[in-house]
Amino acid sequence: MRDRWLPSRIEQVYQRNSYTIAIALRTLKQRSWLEISWHPQAARLHIGDPPPRTPDTFTFSQQLLHQLGGLALVALETIAPWERVVDLQFARRPGESALYHLYVEIMGKYSNVILTDANNIIITVAHQVKQQQSSVRPVLTGQPYETPPSLTAAIPNLSESQERWQERVSLVPGAIKRQLLKTYRGVSPSLIQSMLLVSDIDPESSTDILKADDWQQLFHHWQEWLQRLQSEKFEPAWTQEGYTVLGWGVHKSAKDIQELLNRYYTDQRNQQIFSQLRHQLSQKLKNILEKLRLKAANFKQRLQQSEQADEYRQKADLLMAHLHEWRLGMTEITIPDFESSEPVKIALQPDKNAVQNAQNLYKQHQKLKRARTAVEPLLAEVNAEIEYLEQVEAAISQIENYTTAEDLQALEEIREELIGQQYLEDSEYRRRSSTEAASTNFYHDCTPNGFEVLIGRNNRQNDQLTFRVANDYDLWFHAQEIPGSHVLLRLEPGTVPEEADLQYVANLAAYYSRGRQSDQVPVVYTQPKYVYKPKGAKPGIAIYKQERIIWGQPQSLVLNPES
C-alpha cells in the first residue's frame, strides 16, 4: 500500500455497516477505496470495492470525513515491530507534519479504529471502551490515546538459530500449534496452521514427540516466512482452506494481495449474511403460509356448510306445503319429497308452530347464502396470497448456496420485495428510487444450438424478464400451475428453434420450479405478447394464453456450471 497509495488525497468516507468504513483515495495515477474493518472475526485493512449508492447514515464516517476530507494520507506505519496496530497519518500536503492519526487496531474481538489529533487526543472512535468494560485501557473521546499493552512473547528473528528456536518452543511440552503461538509474538493461528500443514505436521502433535526431520522442516518454513517479510516479496494465492501470501499450498494464483484480501473477506461476509438472510426469509414465509393455509381451510369449511343452504329452503317449502300435518308439540315431522317422493325428516322446535318453524328454516337458508357470497371472494384472496408466497418460497429454495455476490443480491431483492408487500418490517429499509436500474442479474444458459436462455432468480427479475427484456421473437416458458421461474428463450428475427432447444428450455423451466424433484413436469410456452400481468397483481404473477405444453424433465438436466 505504501508503494501505490502514498501520498494520496482523501475524497470521501463511507460507512458500509456497523463494522466497516471505506475511504476514497486519489493519487496522480488512480483512485480507489481503502477498506478498514474492526469486525471481531474479520478485522482488516486493504483496498476494496466501491461502496453502494445507498445513503450513509452512520455518524462515525461523517466525523472522519469532517476531519480528514481534502487532507493527504502521507504515512502508513505500524506503531511498533510485530504490533497489529497501523497508524495512518494525515497532513495538508506531503512533507508537512501530521494533523491527524487514524489508528487501526487489528486485534480480533478487541479490534477498533481511533482518530486522534496531532497531540494524540482522541477525537472519535469506532467503538468506545468505557471504564466499566476495561479498567486496563478505556478508549474514550477527549482522552489521550494509549497504545495497547506491550506484548511479552519473544520477537521472531531471522538470525535466531534452529537450536535456540527449538529450545524456546519445546521448553514446556504441549501441542506444537499452541506452543508456537505462546512463544512468539506476531503470529496468528491461521499462519501457524498453514505452516504446519506445509510441513506435514499434525497441529495437535506434542513437542516432545516431534522428530528431528519435523523440527528441521518446520524451522525451514519459519525462516521462509521471515525472509519474505524482510524482502517484502509475497505470492498471493488461493488455497483449499482459504488464502496464502507465502506460496504454500497454492490452489490458484491471485492477481495481487489487495484483490485477494478483498475477495476473501467479501465472500466470507456475504456467505454469513446470505445464510442468515435465507434462514430469516424461509422461516418468515413458513410462518405466514401456515397461517394463510389455516385461514383458507376455515373458509373452505364455511363454504361446505353454506352448501346446505338449498337443503334448508327445500325443507321450509315442504313444511309450508304440509301445514295441515303439523300437530302441537311435534319435535319432528316426515314429509315426502316433491320430486322423488322419498321421506324427508324435518326437525321442529316444539314451542313454535309450523309457520314459525318454516320461517326459521328460511332464515337459515338466507344466512348460509349470504355467507357463501361473503366467503368466496375472501377465499379467492387468500388463495392468491398463498400462490404468490409459494412463488417467493420457490425462488428462495432455488438459491440454495452462496457462490457469488449475485446470489446474495437475489436474496436481498426478495427481502426488499417482501418489505414492499408489507410482509416484513425493516426500519433501515430504503426504497429504491424509480430511476435506479432494476436488477438484470438473471441466470444464463445456452440451448444445444447456442440460443441464449435467461432465467429469473426472483419475482422482481421474473417481471423484469417477462415485461421489459422479452421481445416479440422470444419464447416464454413456465412450469404449468407450479411456482417457478420465468424462463426466456432469446431468438433473433427469422430463427426457429429445433425440438431439442425447446426440450432443453422446458427442462430448465422444470428445474427452476417447485417440481425440481419430479421426473416430468408440464411446462407451458408461448410468445411474450400473450403473457399479461393482471391489474393489481403481486410481483411475479402472470397469466397467459395461446400456450403449448411440453413435458420438462428436470432430472435429466445437466446444468452448465457457469449458468
The total number of structural domains that make up the chain:
4
Q: At what angle do helices 405-420 and 257-306 cross, to 10 degrees?
A: 40
Judge contact between 541 and 533, C-beta under 8 A: yes
Range of the domain at 354: 274-436
153, part of any domain = no
Same domain assignment for residues 472 and 533: yes
Same domain for 288 and 356:
yes
Instruction: Read off the CATH number of the domain in which 250 is found.
Output: 1.10.8
Task: For residue 158, give the 3-state DSSP assignment.
Answer: coil
Residue 137 lies in a domain: no
Q: 3-state class of 389 per DSSP? A: helix
Residues 288 and 424 in one domain: yes
What is the full per-residue pLDDT of the chain (563 aa) written as tens digits? 998 999 999 999 999 999 999 999 999 999 999 999 999 989 999 999 999 888 999 999 999 999 999 999 999 999 988 888 999 999 999 999 999 999 999 998 999 999 999 999 999 999 999 888 877 889 999 999 999 988 888 999 999 999 999 999 999 999 999 999 999 998 989 899 999 999 999 999 999 999 999 999 999 999 999 999 999 999 999 998 889 999 998 999 998 999 999 999 999 889 989 999 999 999 999 999 999 999 999 988 887 777 677 777 888 888 898 888 888 888 888 888 888 888 888 889 888 898 998 898 888 788 877 777 888 889 989 999 999 999 999 999 989 999 888 899 999 999 999 998 989 886 544 444 333 445 678 999 999 999 999 999 999 999 999 999 999 999 999 999 999 999 999 999 989 999 999 999 999 999 999 999 999 999 999 999 999 998 888 899 999 999 999 999 998 875 444 44
CATH number at residue 287: 1.10.287
Residue (of 339, 338, 336, 364) closest to 349 by Cα position: 364
Residue where a domain stops, chosen among 387, 405, 436: 436
User: Are both 406 and 289 inside the same structural domain?
Assistant: yes
N residues, the chain: 563
Q: What is the pTM of this model?
A: 0.72
The values of phi and psi at residue 363, to 5°, are -65, -40
Burial status of residue 428 (CB atoms within 10 A of its CB: 0-12, 13-18, 19 or more): exposed
Distance CA 518, CA 397 (A): 15
Element (H or E) spanning 492, and its range?
none
Report, in angstroms and rounded to the nearest whole number, the Rg of the chain calculated over CA atoms: 36
Q: Which residues contact 398 (CB under 8 A, 6 or more apart)?
A: 457, 485, 512, 516
Residue 363 one-letter amino acid: K
Residue ranges in 309-401 assigned as alpha helix (H): 309-321, 354-398
Cβ-contact 226, 158 below 8 angstroms: yes
CA distance from start to end of the chain: 36
Q: Does residue 218 fall inside a structural domain?
A: yes
Q: Is the backbone of residue 381 left (phi > 0), alpha (psi -120 to 50) or beta?
A: alpha
Q: Are residues 394 and 448 in the same domain?
A: no
